[in-house]
């Protein structure tokens, strides 16, 4: 008799997006003529940059010729891509990395989800609240969470982020072993300063903890002084793993390419207390369970690092960040409390007096025909907040904000 992994049963259903879809469908049935604008999606909408398309086409032609055809590549990714990642994304920040410290993958979602496999089941996990659900759910599946009780898993440490603490998580009171941080943050769009990030690196050093740092939105940082990589912080190369993706900077959400940095100096412990490098564990995990990103896709990603590619992704990001400004300024002008949207494509707003996350969702849909994402869907501390995204077209984003101004003026 095959028994299931019952940890999966601890997970609540994927209620958030199903519930949104249901409410939107009902509204559409009742109002077939309404022009609904979706500012809820966390997916890019602009096509791939020209430089990437050129790189992809050239690689397809290579695969068509016996002399340049490639079969299996290195599981960790081709050196041509890794070398450009290191040179362009890290050496410019003063961070040096070896080629075998960067692992190319098919996405940060898989990497941030899979990384917990190389850690023991008894580690205490800390997540920010609200949070990108992958960090939490994969630890629930692995048996690190305990039971769900009144919205929180008993064995997980929730680091509350709200307007009260300016979305800066406080160091935990109990000792934690694995800490997930995502900056610029999804869903709140907020960032941490180098000094704030340093507190976490120092905490990890003092407690033998590991920081799993998701920098998916690094390219959206506009302000000087905001860290692009955790390795800008002294000591981080001993305690942090960093996740990056081409999804949000270069439009690869459907093309799939990302990478994870595991410096060889990052150590965790065996049960008898001796140090063990996570780089070799992750390498073992990847070479066993993953056969690499397609050559064609890695050539597309490599093209991101050409001068044209760099220019074109800058333009993509500026396009979305102009939307972020439209949303931010528009909401502020009618007196809403707005966070994020300066160094990230996410705007996190406090729902107006008298509305919780879901009743505000309904009001926005009914009065303005706009779909956003209720903050409560990202964790208990998201209640009373609401997320709008800058990934729409400039036209529809402007139209949405005009509607909000007319319908929602407080
Ligand atoms: C979009 C996103 C990712 C990227 O996932 P991919 O699998 O690389 O597309 C990772 N982390 C966060 C927080 C995200 O929002």
Task: Decide if 6-47+309-407 and 53-306 have a common fold.
Answer: no
Pocket test for ligand 1, best of 105, 130, 214 (most atoms within 8 A of CB): 214
Residue with the nearest Cα to atom 2 of ligand 1?
216
Q: Rounded to the nearest whole angstrom, what is the distance from the C-alpha of residue 391 to the centroid of ligand 1?
A: 14
Q: Is the CB of 255 under 6 A from ligand 1?
A: no
The answer for residues whose C-beta is within 8 angstroms of residue 356's C-beta and 6 or more apart is: 376, 383, 384
Q: Rounded to the nearest whole angstrom, what is the distance from the C-alpha of residue 135 to the centroid of ligand 1?
A: 11
- Is pLDDT of 113 > 80? yes
Q: Is the CB of 204 under 6 A from ligand 1?
A: no
Which atom of ligand 1 sits closest to the CA of residue 258? 8
Q: Rounded to the nearest whole angstrom, what is the distance from the C-alpha of residue 256 to the centroid of ligand 1?
A: 10
* CA separation for the pair 204, 234 (Å, rounded): 12
Q: Rounded to the nearest whole angstrom, what is the distance from the C-alpha of residue 247 to the centroid of ligand 1?
A: 7
- Is pLDDT of 301 > 80? yes
Which atom of ligand 1 sits closest to the CA of residue 246? 8
* CA separation for the pair 36, 27 (Å, rounded): 10
Q: What is the predicted pLDDT for the residue at 111?
A: 98
Q: Rounded to the nearest whole angstrom, what is the distance from the C-alpha of residue 1 to the centroid of ligand 1?
A: 37
Strands 240-245 and 258-261 come out as antiparallel
What are the extents of the domains in the chain?
6-47+309-407, 53-306
* CA separation for the pair 50, 54 (Å, rounded): 6
> What's the CATH code, domain 6-47+309-407?
3.90.1150.10
Phi/psi for 28 (5° steps) reads: -65, -40
Q: What is the predicted pLDDT for the residue at 42?
A: 87
- Rounded mean pLDDT, 344-366: 97
- Is pLDDT of 410 > 60? no
Q: What is the predicted pLDDT for the residue at 13?
A: 78
Residue with the nearest Cα to atom 14 of ligand 1?
216
Q: Is the CB of 244 under 6 A from ligand 1?
A: no
- Is pLDDT of 122 > 90? yes
Which atom of ligand 1 sits closest to the CA of residue 43? 1
Q: Rounded to the nearest whole angstrom, what is the distance from the C-alpha of residue 273 to the centroid of ligand 1?
A: 33
> What's the CATH code, domain 53-306?
3.40.640.10
Q: What is the pTM of this model?
A: 0.97
Pocket test for ligand 1, best of 42, 107, 109, 183 (most atoms within 8 A of CB): 109
Secondary element (H or E) of residue 287: helix 278-289
Q: What is the pLDDT of residues 178-198, one digit of tens each?
A: 999 999 999 999 999 999 999
For the chain, what percent of residues have pLDDT higher than 70?
100
Q: Is the CB of 216 under 6 A from ligand 1?
A: yes
Q: What is the pLDDT of residues 63-107, one digit of tens each?
A: 999 999 999 999 999 999 999 999 999 999 999 999 999 999 999
Strands 178-182 and 157-160 come out as unpaired
Q: What is the pLDDT of residues 195-235, one digit of tens each?
A: 999 999 999 999 999 999 999 999 999 999 999 999 999 99
Q: Is the CB of 44 under 6 A from ligand 1?
A: no
């Amino acid at each position: 008799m095959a028994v299931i992994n019952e940890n999966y049963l601890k997970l609540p259903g994927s209620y958030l997006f199903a519930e949104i879809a249901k409410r939107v469908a009902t509204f559409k049935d009742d109002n077939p003529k309404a022009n609904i604008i979706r500012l809820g999606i966390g997916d890019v909408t602009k096509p791939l940059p020209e430089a990437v398309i050129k790189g992809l086409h050239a690689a397809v032609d290579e695969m068509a010729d016996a002399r340049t055809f490639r079969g299996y590549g290195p599981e960790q990714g081709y050196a041509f891509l890794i070398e450009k990642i290191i040179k362009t994304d890290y050496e410019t920040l003063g961070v040096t990395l070896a080629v075998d410290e960067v692992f190319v993958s098919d996405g940060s979602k898989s990497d941030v989800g899979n990384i917990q496999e190389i850690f023991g089941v008894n580690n205490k996990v800390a997540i920010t609240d609200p949070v990108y659900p992958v960090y939490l759910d994969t630890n629930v599946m692995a048996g690190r969470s305990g039971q769900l009780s009144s919205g929180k898993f008993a064995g997980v440490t929730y680091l509350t982020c709200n307007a009260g603490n300016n979305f800066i998580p406080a160091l935990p009171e109990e000792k934690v072993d694995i800490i997930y941080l995502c900056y610029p943050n999804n869903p709140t769009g907020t960032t941490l300063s180098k000094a704030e990030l340093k507190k976490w690196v120092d905490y990890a050093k003092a407690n033998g903890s590991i920081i799993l740092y998701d920098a998916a939105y690094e390219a959206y940082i506009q302000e000087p002084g905001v860290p692009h990589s955790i390795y800008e912080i002294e000591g981080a190369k001993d305690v942090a793993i960093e996740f990056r993706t081409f999804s949000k900077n270069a439009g690869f959400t459907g093309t799939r390419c990302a990478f994870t940095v595991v410096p060889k100096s990052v150590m965790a412990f065996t049960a008898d207390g001796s140090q063990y490098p996570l780089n070799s564990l992750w390498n073992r995990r990847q070479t066993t369970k993953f056969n690499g990103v397609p050559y064609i896709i890695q050539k597309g990603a490599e093209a991101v690092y050409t001068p044209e590619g760099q220019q074109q992704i800058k333009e993509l990001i500026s396009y979305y960040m102009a939307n972020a400004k439209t949303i931010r300024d528009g909401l502020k002008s009618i007196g809403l409390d707005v966070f994020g949207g300066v160094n990230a494509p996410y705007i996190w707003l406090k729902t107006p007096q008298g509305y919780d996350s879901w009743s505000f969702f309904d009001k926005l849909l009914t009065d303005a025909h706009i779909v956003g994402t209720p903050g409560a869907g990202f964790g208990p501390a998201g209640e009373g907040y609401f997320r709008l995204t800058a990934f729409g077209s400039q036209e529809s984003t402007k139209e949405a904000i005009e509607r909000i101004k007319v319908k929602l003026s407080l």
